[in-house]
Amino acid sequence: MNKFFRRIGILLSLVAIFALAACGGGDKSTDEASATKDNDAASSFPEKDINGVIQWGEGGATDIISRTLASIAEDEIGASLIMQNKTGASGAIGAQYVYDQPADGYTLLFGAENPNLYQLLEISERDYVNDFVPVSIIGQSYAGIVVNKDSEFDTLEDLVDYASENPGKLLMGTSGEGGLPHVASAMLKSELDTAFNLIPYDGDGPLSVALLGDEIDVTVLAVSAAQEYVDSGDFKMLAVLNDSSLDSIPDVPPITDIYPQFEQYLPWGPFQGIFAHKDTPEDVVQKLSDAFKAAQEDEEFIEKLTSLGVDPVNLHGEEAEEFVKANQSTSTWMLYDAGETDISPEELGIPKVGE
């Protein structure tokens, strides 16, 4: 009897072992099936239109550059790019929308630098480094301090003196917390003791309209967005936030010619890029990157960027990732050092550039 039960016990043990092996084999099979599915999806990508989400309003630098590139890239990708603007919350609404979509490469974020500051300013939990993968960094832009053609201010010194002596009286248009004008105003406040009344708008396009209509006294725009208004005489650009002049607007002085103390922050400026959800299959990201890389080599597109005061960079892969991290480091520490936020970038695991 004891021998019988021993045999039964052995048989049961063997059954258990085989069952566990089957389970393990099932997991492996599932993983292989998932990998095969991803590979199949990548090899056939794209099978439908791709949605491009622009996180800023129509007519701004990001909008102009994104739509121009999208029309060229369609032939390289082999699918239509359906572009739409999703504005609000300093671009966070558009970024969150893309993050919430399936990570399959069919929804891309055409964005600027703002998500690099979301966590620091408690605007959103999303950021480029942790939640997205760069498909392409298109270009590095520069910023200019601009006023209406009829403004009483003809030089940056005039503007700074008035803003210092009349704190809060001048209306500065911004694109919200973390936007280019907000960061620039923090630099001015930190170094020149200026105080502006910040009025938010949904990107460079609406800011330009507001300045044209005298709704605001001053703003900071990407040179790419302000260029046509400066050329037409509608805007006066008092200075560029750079340590040297720009070929596209050679008569506008760099801010360091007027206030040398800004050299510590420069070179710095906005950028435009294309991003996918972090979990998008690598092969799909690579396909998209290759297509946008080829599109950005188009001579007419390069001429367009250059005419807008944008340096074409056309970065992909690790180079793009390092570029985004460096921009985040510079911008977050700039705001923190200017006293614009109580949260230290160090708390978010963001090192200073070079550390």
- Asked if the structure places residue 55 within a domain, the reply is no
Residue 47 belongs to some domain of the structure: no
Residue 280's domain spans which residues? 60-141+274-348
- Does residue 46 belong to any structural domain of this protein? no
Nearest in space to 128 (alpha carbons), one of 285, 320, 305, 333: 320
pLDDT along the chain (355 residues), means of 10: 43 40 46 51 88 91 92 96 94 96 98 92 94 96 94 97 95 86 86 92 88 96 87 96 89 96 82 97 97 96 85 95 91 84 93 74
Please tell me the predicted confidence (pLDDT) of residue 40: 59
Domain count, the chain: 2
Give the domain-ending residue among 231, 265, 299.
265
Beta strand 271-277 with 235-240 is: unpaired
What pLDDT shows up at residue 38?
Answer: 52
Of 235, 265, 295, the position where a domain reaches its end is 265
0.85 cut: is pTM over it? no
Last residue of a domain, one of 247, 265, 283: 265
Q: What is the pLDDT of residue 3?
A: 42
Q: Is residue 5 part of a domain?
A: no
CATH classification of the domain holding 66: 3.40.190.150
DSSP string, 231-263: HHTSEEEEEESSSS-BTTBTTSPBHHHH-GGGG
Answer yes or no: do 192 and 256 share one domain: yes
- Regarding whether 163 and 109 lie in a shared domain, the answer is no
Rg (CA), the chain: 25
Q: What is the DSSP letter of 351?
A: P
